[in-house]
Chain A
Amino acid sequence: EAGVTQFPSHSVIEKGQTVTLRCDPISGHDNLYWYRRVMGKEIKFLLHFVKESKQDESGMPNNRFLAERTGGTYSTLKVQPAELEDSGVYFCASSPGSLTSGYADTQYFGPGTRLTVL
């Protein structure tokens, strides 16, 4: 079974440019999460999709970030325009989601996209 994949693995852009990160969850997983780790800080939650709907986007830093999950499969996270403080590693995770496991549902993580904004 393929795991969570993310593309690209690295991205280097200049301040003001636009970048789009992609996440392909494990097939059949309804839940998809985005996280970010800024250098030297802990991994922080950005948002949560259930199928194509945003369940929780309380962690999104500002309106320069736009996440979509059309059709409930892969997801994209667009940063426009990028700022220096957006540099970090962006992780995606997915989980099957079930009524029995609830919030103990295991999340499976991708390898991350390392974003550098110059």
Chain B
Amino acid sequence: NAGVTQTPKFRILKIGQSMTLQCTQDMNHNYMYWYRQDPGMGLKLIYYSVGAGITDKGEVPNGYNVSRSTTEDFPLRLELAAPSQTSVYFCASSYLQGANGYTFGSGTRLTVV
């Protein structure tokens, strides 16, 4: 049982480049989330999904896109990377929203130069 798997763990992008952060969970959780964590700012919700085919914006969605074609996968897309997107990104999942806590991936450290 792998839980929530995120790839890659580290990435350096040039301004204007695009990339996809992958997130997969094998717990059959309905809810999946993408957060970014900036120093001193805690975790901010980017996008979330309540099930396959359904996504919604969180607090800081600008510059990102997501899709949820399957229950297991919830990739996060950065189309035109900007230095402001330098952060640590965490994917999480839960069976019900907030119930029994979230299961988090190990994070992706992204630097945009």
Decide whether A and B assemble into one complex. no
